[in-house]
A and B are shown apart, each in its own frame.
Chain A
Amino acid sequence: MIISKQKPFKEILACLEGVERVFLVGCGDCATVCQTGGEDQIVEMKQRLEAEGKKVTGSMIGESACHILNMKRELRQHKAEVADAQALLVMACGAGIQTFSEVLDKPVYTANDSLFLGNVQRFGHFSEHCSLCGSCIVNETGGICPITNCPKGLLNGPCGGVDKGMCELDSERECAWVKIYNRLKALGQLDKLRKLQSPKDYCSAEKPRMRVIERKGSGTQGPGTQGPGTQGSVTKGGGK
């Protein structure tokens, strides 16, 4: 999921300067889990904004703020409240806020900073393991991504900064390549570590990316190149 954290309230207030009537939007998905756009945070934000003399015209918690079609539909149920507001304050991720800048002409502001695509370690503990680089190499690296887990994104093994198995940049974090080494060794796949990894093709990470999955049986073919396993589908950006 997308891990987010709320911006300092001062910063939120600064972007709402001159805005008296605000409509609040939360997200029932990632931002709810991150406690940045769930019901409790919407209520708290409403109270804090009202304490600053602003009027909250209404609020909604979208099922998934990143779902443009659904959000359009959900917004219709709040037509009057949205119309009455001078601006929207969206408590979701960077994708979620842009749903609203795409479908509304009003100013939209985000209350959050989006941090990373994260795994949930346990309640309230999130960690980053994938950088969405577009060409996954974990099949070569014991299921552990060095692009993300190694600060230098090395592809051929640890640097000289490994210190008793830990990363020199954070003595509490195990070196990603030591982890990969230990795992490949345990799996009897050390030959994978010996294989030279040539410079990575970053075309697959070129932004902005798009992907269209063609409907089965439609018989239509989209534009652009097609990779194996994506018959009838199109990925744009990333040159593939």
Chain B
Amino acid sequence: MSKLKQALDAGEFVITAEAGPPKGTDVSQMLHHAEGLKGKVHAVNVTDNQSSVMRLGSLAGCHLLLDQGLEPVFQLTCRDRNRLALQSDLLSAHVLGIRNVLALTGDHVLVGDHPQAKPVFDVESVQLLQIIERLNCGRDCATKSGRDELPDGTELQGKTEFYSGAVVTPEADPIEPQLIKFEKKSEAGARFFQTQAIYDLDNFAQFMKFARQFEVKILAGILLLRSAGMANYLNKFVPGINVPDSLIAELKEAKDRAGDDKKLAAKNQLDAGIAIAARQIRSIHESKVCDGVHIMAIGLEAKVPRIIEQAGL
């Protein structure tokens, strides 16, 4: 049984974080960061060739976290696997004790470090959720030829018991098709959502008004800002992320306070970023606008316990 599901169903304010597998076989840093999250978060997502950069697999990463006593969320993308491989990996994940899956389409290979690769995309996130539902019902997604509704499939020797999650971008532009897709994901079997990074809590509250119509749990995406430069970069290059000017000014001020001392400027900005993240989490917790938060620290996982502590949780 998924502990993440238990916590969300019990109405706890849930915190999840991320662990990025290494490019290589040295998992010591990933495990060190994960160790620091123990007892502080409900679950840890293990990313799947994040940003289409080849790394150690998320399935193995999840297995290592389980051994370490953490609750993993298996991020599974459709970029590198066809429906056979997806189902096979899901069965493998189940027997290894993994119970949470985050169904993703995945970034295109063109944005990663192997742009020459052939992208798969045999199915996509919504269909992957349908497939997980099938496996949970004890059947695979095999179908007789013909573009119809999912057929009955072949009976499995032992079904899966996954708690399915998906992602949503509350600040997508335009927002309407994104909301329709959110609806389809919940219809296809998503029980929890982790959102793309959000910074404007008023906008987020608007999104939550819509999301609350559905029987799904929502974890707000909190992306740690480490500098004003990073915030500007996100605004310019990452679709669906809008860092408000006031937060950029806050980071800039922290930087300016350090004068010419570059090291101090970096530290001040990171401190400010941590304070911003903690403040947002506290605000979300107090307002009960959603069911929890998903903290993305991207390489600074070691700072996550401090964010949680400053948030007073």
Contacts and interface: CB of A to CB of B under 8 A. Distances in A.
A111 B41 CA distance: 61
Contacts of A204: 145
A153 interface: yes
B133 to A, nearest CB: 11
Interface in B165-180: 167, 169, 172-174, 176-178, 180
B105 interface: yes
A156 B173 contact: no
Interface in B152-176: 167, 169, 172-174, 176
A208 to B, nearest CB: 17
Contacts of A231: none
Which of the four size classes fits the interface of chain A? 35 or more
Contacts of B105: 152, 154, 159
**Size class of the B contact interface (CB-based, 8 Å):** 35 or more
A18 interface: no
Nearest to A137: B147
A137 B147 CA distance: 9
Contacts of B196: 160
B177 A181 contact: yes
A140 B173 CA distance: 23
B308 interface: no
B269 interface: no
B10 interface: no
B239 interface: yes
Contact of A177 (B107, B123, B149, B177): B177
A199 B180 contact: no
25 contacts: A135-B147, A152-B108, A153-B124, A155-B126, A155-B127, A156-B124, A156-B125, A156-B126, A156-B181, A156-B184, A158-B177, A160-B239, A163-B239, A169-B110, A181-B176, A190-B180, A196-B130, A197-B126, A198-B130, A198-B147, A198-B149, A198-B150, A199-B83, A201-B143, A201-B147
Interface of B: 83, 105, 107-108, 110-111, 119, 121-127, 130-131, 141, 143, 145-150, 167, 169, 172-174, 176-178, 180-181, 183-184, 187-188, 196, 239-240
Interface of A: 135, 137, 151-165, 168-169, 177-178, 181, 185, 190, 193-194, 196-204, 239-240
